[in-house]
Homo-oligomer: A and B are copies of this chain.
Amino acid sequence: MGRKRVPAGELFQAALDGDRSSLARLLSLIERGDDEAREVGRLAYPLSGEGYTVGLTGAPGAGKSTLTSAVIRHLRSLDLEIAVLAIDPSSPFTGGAILGDRVRMQDHATDPGVFIRSMATRGHLGGLSLATPEAVRALDAIGRKWILVETVGVGQVEVEVAGKADTTVVVVNPGWGDSVQANKAGLMEIADVFVINKADRKGVDETKRDLMQMLDLSDLPHDAYRPPIIATVGTTGEGIVDLWDAVLAHRAYAESSGVLAERRTFRLREELREIIAQRLGRKARQLCTGERWDELTDEVVDRTTDPWTAADEMLAGIDA
């Protein structure tokens, strides 16, 4: 980087004071997922909890970035301060790099009320499943009340990341069927709001019928809440107000019904489980290297000890 190394605590304080470049560096720390990232997590956690995350997911080419950009414009017109995390599980590139059609979001680059950040896995041990909630909490802690999390793709990983939002918007296009065939069930499960974007093309009614049918056939309990289907044109902004109203309606339902509290509790437990699994996995890798490891494996090969006794010795004190 060539830049002076600043302790995580100082970076965090500067970000709290509104310094955007410190915030960017903080998120780079989180992306790396090392001990400093843990430190950021500890600082951010008690200050977070007020922010609300809205996930946007859909197949590549569905127009998510344009849609996100239109949503940003709408929220800024309401004078809301927001943050956007653009997650790309398949990309090795990060914040600094130009991410294809993310360029469109550069419209908001000079607006201090908008903070946009691209994230990739980089070196994070736990991958995006641990880095994303950490990044969300940092943005939450510095006072962003709305955090949009955009994920590219419709694979298992993307759906998992997207499904961790408080409200999840699934973006499809007219005639979407084939492009997401493989993971329709996964998308149905996480969708709180459906958007048919590029609704100026033909096939909107069929797609709507298709989605309604799938909702009818799904096992979801629809008595209290049924995901609405909103038609939008991201490029013109058509339908964006309806989309945002649908998000607000889902939020109101989730808050009053206890669904939000349930989801967050579930997510935190999953995250804690994953942190523990990751750390024990790292421990396993540490144990299976070094001088003692070499000695013990030699002893097993020479049959002066057996694999279970060797494992006992490597795991001494761990009671595993």
Residues of A within 8 A of B (CB): 38, 41-42, 45-46, 49, 264-265, 268-269, 271-273, 275-277, 279-284, 287-288, 296-297, 300-301, 303, 306-311, 314-315, 317-320
Residues of B within 8 A of A315 (CB): 276, 279-280
Contact of A320 among B272, B280, B300, B311 (CB under 8 A): B280
Q: 10 closest Cβ contacts across the A-B interface?
A: A45-B306, A283-B320, A279-B320, A280-B280, A275-B311, A280-B284, A277-B284, A273-B288, A38-B308, A265-B301
Q: Give the nearest-CB partner of A279 in chain B.
A: B320
Residues of B within 8 A of A307 (CB): 41, 45, 268, 271-272, 275
Residues of B within 8 A of A269 (CB): 297, 301
CA distance A300 to B317 in the complex (A): 27
Q: A136 → chain B, closest Cβ, in Å? A: 13
When the two chains form their complex, are residues B265 and A41 in contact, meaning their CB atoms are under 8 A apart?
A: no
When the two chains form their complex, are residues B280 and A318 in contact, meaning their CB atoms are under 8 A apart?
A: yes
When the two chains form their complex, are residues A276 and B306 in contact, meaning their CB atoms are under 8 A apart?
A: no
CA distance A317 to B288 in the complex (A): 19
When the two chains form their complex, are residues A301 and B264 in contact, meaning their CB atoms are under 8 A apart?
A: yes
Contact of A282 among B279, B310, B320 (CB under 8 A): B320
CA distance A307 to B272 in the complex (A): 6
Contact of A301 among B268, B275, B284, B287 (CB under 8 A): B268
CA distance A287 to B278 in the complex (A): 13
When the two chains form their complex, are residues A288 and B268 in contact, meaning their CB atoms are under 8 A apart?
A: no
Residues of B within 8 A of A300 (CB): 268, 272
**Contacts A269-B297, A272-B300, A279-B315 known; 10 new A-B pairs at CB < 8 A:** A265-B301, A268-B301, A272-B297, A272-B310, A272-B314, A275-B308, A276-B288, A280-B280, A280-B284, A318-B318
Contact of A42 among B42, B46, B268, B309 (CB under 8 A): B309
Residues of B within 8 A of A314 (CB): 272, 276
CA distance A137 to B117 in the complex (A): 55
Given A276-B284, A281-B280, A320-B280, A306 contacting B42 (CB threshold 8 A): yes
30 pairs of residues in contact across A and B, judged by CB atoms under 8 Å:
A41-B307, A41-B308, A42-B306, A45-B303, A45-B306, A46-B306, A265-B297, A268-B297, A268-B300, A268-B307, A271-B307, A272-B300, A272-B307, A272-B310, A272-B314, A273-B284, A273-B288, A275-B308, A276-B287, A276-B288, A276-B314, A276-B315, A280-B280, A280-B281, A280-B315, A282-B320, A283-B320, A317-B317, A317-B318, A318-B318
